[in-house]
Amino acid sequence: MARITLRQLLDCAAERSYGVPAFNVNNMEQALAIMEAARSVNAPVIIQASRGARAYAGDIMFAKMMEALEAMYPEIPLCVHQDHGERVSTCLSAIQNGFTSVMMDGSLKEDGKTPGSYDYNVGITSEVTRLAHMVGASVEGELGCLGSLETGHGEAEDGHGFEGKLDRSSLLTDPDEALRFVQATKVDALAVAIGTSHGAYKFTRKPTSDVLAMDVIEKIHAKLPNTHIVMHGSSSVPEEYRNLFNENGGEMRETYGVPVEEIVRGIRFGVRKVNIDTDLRLAATAEFRRVANRNKSEFDPRKFLKPAMDAMGKVCRDRFEAFGCAGQAALIKVKPMSEMARLYASGALDPHIEKKAAA
Ligand code: G3H
Ligand code: 13P
Ligand code: ZN
């Protein structure tokens, strides 16, 4: 059995000091590219679906696709995660469809645009945690709003992100509040705001510490050394693929993502889950453009999709290696959700807050 909960996977990652990329998936080609890459380096996998991805593929298709991956890659621990759940019912229906983990993103209200208050966030996240843990599923919460420290804006490029402008303090997770939030909600993993944002346009120059606040991760880790930290908006937007995209008729202005070395630094300070969507989108569509441009008579979709899968697979392998999770799959003995439910009920998985940090 290869389906693993986020909590168990990240506990293993923390024990051996590595991070795990969480790749967003909408279709078979992305899923196969990720799994083939994982098999080639023996890495565990987190596949995540946004609400948009679930709507695009359909819940039945998505669930059957995950079953197929389990059957095809039985040696690879596979965590299936709901990305940015906006309400309790989204999280519960994900679990009904075989997801082993959900994100309740209470940093924004149900509309996905309006920042939620701390109390709103604690209330809704605790509710999801209480229910999910009963059946052994894991929960990721988010504290702080993702957005650019360069401009103060969130981005609605993929339909998720606050509208308008926020001050710097709302764009950075407060470490003391993080401690209280984890204690109150019992989340298994905490997504933090440090200046990253979704999509291709994160930074106008290679990010320095004023716009990519890795020091905030260090401070949160000092308060919560046993909590798994999640970095959203962590695509690196490789120049190689931006150039390929532009050389073949695409239009993507100069932009910078999160450098892989900064993520690796985060992993030293408790980052265990690293969300990546844009990089696979860009690698795939740059290849579509290259094929279309070089062979204008080509109309077999496989001739576009195969090179796209190869490019996505290369990105995945690079991240598995860089984050230290290559070679780790075989070391994980997957616990079923029923066992995780028993552990939650016994209190064994409650957040372990060090007394000195809480004081
Ligand atoms: O939440 C961010 C991901 O990039 C998902 O994007 O809603 O377009 O699938 P999406
Ligand atoms: P990117 O847009 O940087 O790939 O981020 C994806 C993400 O955080 C999904 O939750
Ligand atoms: Zn995200």
Has residue 180 been placed in a domain?
yes
Ligand nearest 197 Cα, by number? 2
* pLDDT for position 354: 72
Has residue 337 been placed in a domain?
no
Task: For residue 315, give the 3-state DSSP assignment.
Answer: helix
Has residue 44 been placed in a domain?
yes
Q: Under a CB-based contact definition with an 8 Å cutoff, are residues 172 and 193 in contact?
A: yes
Give the mean model confidence (pLDDT) for residues 319-342: 98
Residues carrying an active site annotation: 83
With the most atoms of ligand 1 within 8 angstroms of its CB, the residue from 83, 102, 234, 278 to mutate is 83
In Å, what is the CA distance from 37 to each residue of 68, 115, 274, 318, 320? 16, 37, 17, 9, 8
- Provide the domain count of the chain: 1
Structure tokens at 209: 């510490």
Residue 344 alpha carbon to ligand 2 centre in Å: 29
Has residue 350 been placed in a domain?
no
pLDDT above 90 as % of the chain:
91
* pLDDT for position 350: 96
The CA distance from 51 to 90, in Å, is 8
Residue 116 alpha carbon to ligand 2 centre in Å: 20
Give the mean model confidence (pLDDT) for residues 88-108: 98
What are 129-188's pLDDT values in tens digits? 999 999 999 999 999 999 999 998 876 655 567 777 888 888 999 999 999 999 999 999
Q: Under a CB-based contact definition with an 8 Å cutoff, are residues 41 and 108 in contact?
A: no
Ligand 1-lining residues (CB < 6 angstroms):
24, 50, 52-53, 83-84, 158-160, 198, 277
Has residue 135 been placed in a domain?
yes
Has residue 74 been placed in a domain?
yes
DSSP string, 194-259: SS--SSS-SBSSS--TTTS-HHHHHHHHHH-TTSEEEE-S-----HHHHHHHHHTT----S-B---
Ligand 3 is an ion; its neighbours by CB within 5 Å are 232, 275
Adjacent-strand bridge partners of 275: 22
Has residue 353 been placed in a domain?
no
Q: Ligand 2 within 6 A of 276 CB?
A: yes
14-25: burial string, b at 16+ Cβ within 10 Å, e else:
beeebbbbbbbb
Q: Under a CB-based contact definition with an 8 Å cutoff, are residues 41 and 327 in contact?
A: yes
Measure CA 143 to chain center: 15
Has residue 114 been placed in a domain?
yes
Ligand nearest 157 Cα, by number? 1
* pLDDT for position 161: 75
The amino acid at 74: P
Residue 145 alpha carbon to ligand 3 centre in Å: 10
DSSP letter assigned to residue 21? E
Nearest CA to ligand 1 atom 4: 277
* pLDDT for position 357: 64
* pLDDT for position 1: 58
The domain that contains 321 carries what CATH number? 3.20.20.70
Is residue 106 exposed (0-12), middle (13-18) or buried (19+ Cβ within 10 Å)? buried
* pLDDT for position 353: 78
In Å, what is the CA distance from 139 to each residue of 42, 132, 218? 25, 7, 22
Give the mean model confidence (pLDDT) for residues 224-246: 98
* Owner of token pair 């997504």: 191
Which atom of ligand 1 is nearest the CA belonging to 83?
A: 1
With the most atoms of ligand 1 within 8 angstroms of its CB, the residue from 23, 51, 56, 84 to mutate is 84
CA angle 202–204–208, rounded 5-degree value: 85
- Supply the pTM of this predicted model: 0.97
The CA distance from 66 to 34, in Å, is 12
Residue 105 alpha carbon to ligand 3 centre in Å: 9
* pLDDT for position 329: 98
Q: Ligand 2 within 6 A of 85 CB?
A: no
Which residues span the domain enclosing 298?
A: 6-328
Residue 52 alpha carbon to ligand 1 centre in Å: 7
| Residues in the chain, total | 359
With the most atoms of ligand 2 within 8 angstroms of its CB, the residue from 232, 236, 281, 315 to mutate is 232
The amino acid at 272: R
